[in-house]
Amino acid sequence: MHTNHPRLPGELTFMALMVAFSAFMLWTSFHISKFDSISSPGVFPMLCAALMVVTGLLSVRQAWKASSSAQASQSVFQQFVIQLAPLKLVLFTALIVAYMLALEVTGFLVSSYVFLLLSMQVLGSKKMVVNLLVSALVLICIFIVFRTAFSVILPAGSFLGPFTPEWLK
């Protein structure tokens, strides 16, 4: 049974991007062996990519025919933000990027503690004392496991590294 669903904001664009990616993969897989024979190394990747192109085109056609789910009071961009990129997701993604950038500068301990603390707040925890304690306990456990069990040297950071005691490196 086939049911029509309303087209979500960004669905048609996403489907078109998937078709473009699939076409690129088909072109790339063709260059593996130029389809010299049915048993050449590029045949299976070409078949998979061709199947991706066909099903992608069918999905684009279905999305094109579907009616838009955007409400009259909201633009397509507003619907996209509300449904697919809520503020909590955007903030958490920004936190992950900031954590990755801070890891090299401030080191594992400081950047991980701040990341855990801010992540809990972004995800809805309002109890600051509990956040401080849980972040510290989780970080201590991670540090002990990686430092003792796996013998991994965690980054000390270029800014704080020279001031960090040896047993914390």
CB distance 117 to 98 below 8 Å: no
User: What radius of gyration, in Å, describes the C-alpha atoms of the chain?
Assistant: 25
Per-residue pLDDT tens for 27-52? Answer: 998 888 777 777 777 788 899 999 99
| 5-21: pLDDT as tens digits | 777 777 888 899 999 99
Identify the CA nearest to 158 among candidates 111, 115, 97.
Answer: 111
**Cβ-contact 2, 36 below 8 angstroms:** no
Give bridge partners of residue 68 from the DSSP assignment. Answer: 7
Looking at every residue in the chain, the average pLDDT score rounds to: 84
Q: Are 143 and 116 in contact (CB under 8 A)?
A: no
State pLDDT tens for residues 142-153: 988 988 888 887
**Is 84 within 8 Å of 9 (Cβ atoms)?**
yes
**Contact (CB, 8 A) for 73 and 12:** no
Phi, psi angle pair for 68, to nearest 5°: -70, 145
Phi, psi at 22, each rounded to 5°: -65, -40
Could you tell me the CA-to-CA distances from 169 to 58, 114, 115, 135 in Å, in that order? Answer: 55, 18, 19, 19
pTM here is 0.57
Distance separating alpha carbons of residues 167 and 16, to the nearest angstrom? 53
